[in-house]
Amino acid sequence: MAVNLSAPVTAELHPVAGIELGWAEAQIRKPKRKDVLLVAIAEGSSVAGVFTSNRFAAAPVQLCRAHLAAGVGIRALVINTGCANAGTGEPGIGAAQTTCVAVAEQLGCGPVQVLPFSTGVIMEPLPVERLVAGLPQAKSRLAPAHWAEAAEAIMTTDTLPKAASTRIELGGVSTTITGISKGAGMIEPNMATMLGFIATDAGVAPALLPRLTKRVADASFNRITIDGDTSTNDSFVVIATGKNGAPQIESLNDPRLETLTAAITAVAQQLAQAIVRDGEGATKFITIRVEDAANPEEALKVGYAVAHSPLVKTAFFASDPNLGRILAAVGNSGIADLDAGRVQLWLDEVWVARDGGRHPDYREEDGQRVMKQAEIAVRIALGRGEASETVWTTDLSHEYVTINADYRS
Amino acid sequence: MAVNLSAPVTAELHPVAGIELGWAEAQIRKPKRKDVLLVAIAEGSSVAGVFTSNRFAAAPVQLCRAHLAAGVGIRALVINTGCANAGTGEPGIGAAQTTCVAVAEQLGCGPVQVLPFSTGVIMEPLPVERLVAGLPQAKSRLAPAHWAEAAEAIMTTDTLPKAASTRIELGGVSTTITGISKGAGMIEPNMATMLGFIATDAGVAPALLPRLTKRVADASFNRITIDGDTSTNDSFVVIATGKNGAPQIESLNDPRLETLTAAITAVAQQLAQAIVRDGEGATKFITIRVEDAANPEEALKVGYAVAHSPLVKTAFFASDPNLGRILAAVGNSGIADLDAGRVQLWLDEVWVARDGGRHPDYREEDGQRVMKQAEIAVRIALGRGEASETVWTTDLSHEYVTINADYRS
């Protein structure tokens, strides 16, 4: 059951000029479900991506990196669910290449202009013949209005499709940003695979888009965690088609760059938080903010230590204000010279711990009240400096175990 | 339900000359259960300990470190369950000191000769009056034969008491080693707190015992993990009473030192593995051996990455040979220059993955057969060097969530 999340409404997903989306039911793993998505991108668009840090990067991720590095202009994305094509060695690379060749033939571009993405079970061969056989169907459905169906086509254990869209004024020109995401477990950004795709009709020079993409990811998809596992297939891609009628952003000094980055970040945060809200077995949406850290790295260390602690997560599931577990996780985060006596802890507005121990005014009923909420903010101050970071996560429930124990059946 | 573990039999727990154990029902948290253990140690014994790396080290851990550093000869241990006395600030230190003073009065030694240990809920005040009130009862029960009752007195969420005992010939002299442990969750060595106490009647010079204790811990209690959380209270103590009638071991070159270390390690491994077998909700006992690593640190990194992955752990729970999750965890272990193409994976004797992909001869039914066992060995070869390490862990079950969601109720 997702936490405060509802399916996107087609009417609220603005088409992005230069982007068309079509899907197929290719029976990659199961019959009668959308499991292949084709995204056609207008010539002249800029495309950039960030990918998993997992050393077992899937075959499609390896091809994405190579094709982006080739720099000849990306014209299509192809995404399949049902099989991750990871841990598949050389045959896996071959299957991903075959996919790109087939897409290129359909759309009349080069294979190196196609980015492939896969999500599903690891270490099983990709049924590439069925994928390729589904491509004409996907092509026949290509249309700018198909964002909602696209969000549906990339779902795996997701209970709801995830999409977000906004329109902003950029240098006086109306500009659209629309994106989709999927992922429910193995999120840090993570497995069952986190995928995120955002398109804008703003124009951004190819040289500038990778930096923008990294900044957006670091403020959104790279700040969510469900179970601490990082997928072999995680990918986040930003496409800038340049079809909004305004001149392309070509310099770091163009004031539109900050405006656009902020707007794309807002859409990315919505998509990333939707993944957490729909996290496997999630019953709570937890925001963990770490303040007064010596630097952003240690703020993140503490945030993730708390977000990953199974004991903290089960306490959230139980609505049990067993909040000493949060202090223990902070102490366990690997900051060798942390002075526990300076640590403060709040749960929403309730001051739980002061100077490393329970606040004298803290009452369990106050903690209990906040723990019962569906959305909870944990704030931890380390008393070491000026840096702060925010991480979003969920609780750990029976349903999480059920889903992951039954995933392949 | 513990995995292949049964309660210790009193007849098999050899008393250790110089050690007496007594317990009380002090109602620290709940009535009618053994919740305070007193261990009286003969004068002239050597005592050493290793403690949690958590920066929120509990008050008793802080006192243990200070009292051991004082070097005036430890004469008693006092252990309470029901309250961890962690995250309790200055009042917590005061409560632990009061406990030591009371024990010292009972036994006629100095407070600095007492080591206190606590396990239970974090960030709640220790009911020190009830603890102190229980000490005369514990003292009245002091006897060398009470190891089984002692193992029972330190239990929290443990379903079975844990003890191990052996007799060896040490330089021609019969020598006894007996120990107890507790801990079921938050183990790395970890929380709900891991506690281990081993006594031998061998004599070991005080200067040599800390090194021996560290070596033993690194081959036993420091190689187990249940949920990756490290307790504020984890402690492991070795006592050498020197009552076996042989001269004390005073030099690193004494050949008895290796023999004794190996024998104590074997007892410690039995105690540490008992903690895993009785892990919260455990249905499987998993041995993870990482070979051909460049160094022991990276072997441990990989071992713990696999042992901590919720997706790997839920697959074990489900007996689902979804073994790509193990490769993904290996790729996610933080070795930046890992070559996935050199990684091999075995499940017991079944060769699952070769050169980073599924072995051509691997059949799912073979993986399935091993996954159904109660004890499973995972072997991972990294193809990077000569180092190897072993880590012991459990699966992640519904019962784990239930226990930790209900712990305080």
Q: Per-residue pLDDT averaged across B325-338, rounded?
A: 90
Whether the complex's predicted ipTM surpasses the cut of 0.85: no
**Cα of A188 vs its chain's centroid, Å:** 8
What are the strands, taking DSSP E only, across A183-306?
195-200, 235-240, 285-293
Closest CA to B238 of B177, B290, B309: B177
pLDDT in tens, A294-339: 999 999 999 999 998 888 999 999 998 888 889 989 998 989 899 9
Alpha-carbon span A327 to A312, nearest angstrom: 10
Between CA A331 and CA B56 the distance in angstroms is 5
Residue B159, pLDDT > 50, answer yes
Residues of B in contact with A322 (CB under 8 A): 121-122, 407-408
CA–CA separation, B170 vs B176, rounded Å?
Answer: 9
Window from A164-168, A335-339, B146-150, B308-312 with minimum mean pLDDT: B308-312
pLDDT at A122: 83
pLDDT at A198: 96
Instruction: Report the residue of B93, B156, B229, B306 to disrupt the A interface, i.e. the one with the largest count of A CBs within 10 Å.
Output: B229
Torsion angle defined by CA atoms of residues A73, A75, A78 and A79, in that order, rounded to the nearest 10 degrees:
70
Is B135 in contact with B102 (CB distance < 8 Å)? yes
Nearest residue of A to residue B341, measured between CA atoms: A89
What pLDDT does residue A21 have? 98
- The answer on pLDDT for B228 being more than 90 is no
pLDDT (0 to 100) of residue B1: 66
What's the 3-state SS for A102-170? HHHHHHCCCHHHEEEEEECECCCCCCHHHHHHHHHHHHHCCECCCHHHHHHHCCCCCCCCEEEEEEEEE
The minimal CB distance from B356 to the residues A89, A185, A404 is found for: A89
| Residue B407 in this model has a pLDDT that exceeds 60 | no
> How far is the C-alpha of B228 from the C-alpha of B3, rounded, in Å?
19
When the pLDDT of each residue in chain A is averaged and rounded to a whole number, the result is: 91
Q: Residue A186 pLDDT > 60, yes or no?
A: no
Higher-confidence residue of B158 and A251: namely A251
Tell whether the model's pLDDT for residue B219 goes beyond 80: yes
Taking an 8 Å cut-off on Cβ atoms, the answer to whether A331 and B56 are in contact is yes
Extract the tokens encoding B158.
């443990």
Q: To the nearest whole angstrom, how far is the Cα of A180 from the nearest Cα of chain B?
A: 25
Spatial contact of B131 and B80, defined as CB atoms under 8 Å apart: yes
pLDDT at B330 over 70: yes
d(CA B341, CA B324): 14
Which distant-in-sequence residues (6+ apart) come within 8 Å of A60 by Cβ?
A: A85, A96, A99, A115, A116, A117, A118, A233
Tell me the C-alpha distance between B206 and A373, whole Å: 54
Q: How sure is the predictor about A188, in pLDDT bands with cuts at 50, 70 and 90?
A: very low
The residue in chain A having the minimum alpha-carbon distance to the alpha carbon of residue B125 is: A358
B222 DSSP assignment: G
Lowest mean pLDDT among A136-145, B93-102, B215-224: B215-224
Q: Classify each residue of A323-349 as buried b or exposed e, where b means 16 or more C-beta atoms within 10 Å of its C-beta.
A: bbbbbbbbbbbebeebebeebbbbbbe
- Are B328 and A86 within 8 A, CB to CB? yes
Looking at chain B, the whole-number percentage of residues with pLDDT higher than 90 is 73
Q: Measure Cα distances from A65 to A99, A102, A198, A237, A347 in Å.
A: 16, 19, 18, 11, 42
The 10s digit of each residue's pLDDT in A213-236 is 999 999 998 888 877 666 777 889
CA distance B126 to B402: 26
Task: For residues A195-208, give the mean pLDDT.
Answer: 95
Residue B218: which residues within 8 A CB-CB, separation 6 or more?
none
- Residue B365 CB burial class (10 angstroms; 0-12, 13-18, ≥19): exposed
Residues A236-274 pLDDT 10s: 999 999 999 999 999 999 999 999 999 999 999 999 999
Who's near A330: CB < 8 A, 6+ residues apart?
A302, A305, A306, A338, A340, A343, A345, A380, A382, B55, B56
pLDDT digits (tens, 9 = 90+) for B386-397: 999 999 999 988
B320–A409 CB contact, under 8 Å: yes
First CA to last CA distance, chain B: 20
Q: Which of A327, A329, A367 is nearest to A348 (CA)?
A: A367
- Chain B residues whose CB is inside 8 A of the A191 CB are 311, 328
Cross-chain residue pair B358–A89, CB shorter than 8 Å: yes
Residue B286 has pLDDT above 90, yes or no: yes
Task: Provide the token pair at B285.
Answer: 């006992």
- Give every CB contact of residue B113 below 8 A, 6+ residues apart in sequence: B67, B72, B73, B74, B75, B76, B104
pLDDT tens, residue by residue, B117-130:
999 888 889 999 99
Of all residues in chain A, the one with the smallest CA distance to B403 is A314
Tokens linked to A297? 């790295």
At residue A399 the predicted structure's pLDDT band, cuts being 50, 70 and 90, is: confident
Confidence at residue B131, expressed as pLDDT on a 0 to 100 scale: 98
Residue B70, min C-alpha distance to chain A (Å) = 23
Most confident by average pLDDT, A121-130, B171-180, B221-230: B171-180
Residues in chain A closer than 8 A to B329 (CB atoms) = 229
pLDDT of residue A193: 67
Q: Which of B57, B331, B353 sits opposite A232 (nearest CB)?
A: B331
Measured CA to CA in angstroms, residue B269 lies from A108, A245, A281, A319, B277 at distances of 64, 70, 36, 36, 12
- The alpha-carbon gap from B404 to the nearest alpha carbon of chain A, in Å, equals 6
| Mean pLDDT across B12-27 | 97
Partner-chain residue, chosen from A87, A320, A404, that has the shortest CB–CB distance to B314: A404
Cβ separation A185–B404 shorter than 8 A: no
pLDDT of residue A408: 54
Note whether A382 and A343 are within 8 A (CB).
Answer: yes
- Over the Cα atoms of chain B, what is R_g? 22
Are A309 and B123 an interchain contact pair (Cβ–Cβ within 8 Å)? no
Confidence (pLDDT) at A406: 65
B161 vs chain A: nearest CA distance in angstroms?
A: 23
Of residues A320, A338, A404, nearest to B311 (C-beta): A404
With an 8 Å Cβ cutoff, are A328 and B122 in contact? yes
Query: Which of A99, A193, A265, A394 does the annotation list as catalytic?
Result: A193
CB atoms within 10 A of CB A69: 8
pLDDT in tens, A93-111: 999 999 999 999 999 999 9
Query: What number is the average pLDDT over the span B123-152?
Result: 96
Average pLDDT over residues A36-60: 92
Would the CB atoms of A311 and B186 count as touching at under 8 Å?
yes
DSSP conformation letters of B258-295: HHHHHHHHHHHHHHHHHHHHT-TT---EEEEEEEEESS
- Pick the more confident residue, A373 or B408: A373
**Average pLDDT, stretch B256-276?**
94
| Chain A hits for B62, Cβ within 8 Å | none
Mean pLDDT lowest among A192-206, A275-289, B31-45, B175-189: B175-189
Per-residue model confidence (pLDDT) at position A3: 86
pLDDT above 90 (res B369): yes
Question: In chain A, which residues have their Cβ closer than 8 Å to the Cβ of B363?
Answer: none
| pLDDT > 70: percent of chain B | 95
A55 contacts B330? CB cut-off 8 A: yes
Q: Which amino acid is at B107?
A: L
**Quick check: A117 pLDDT over 50?**
yes
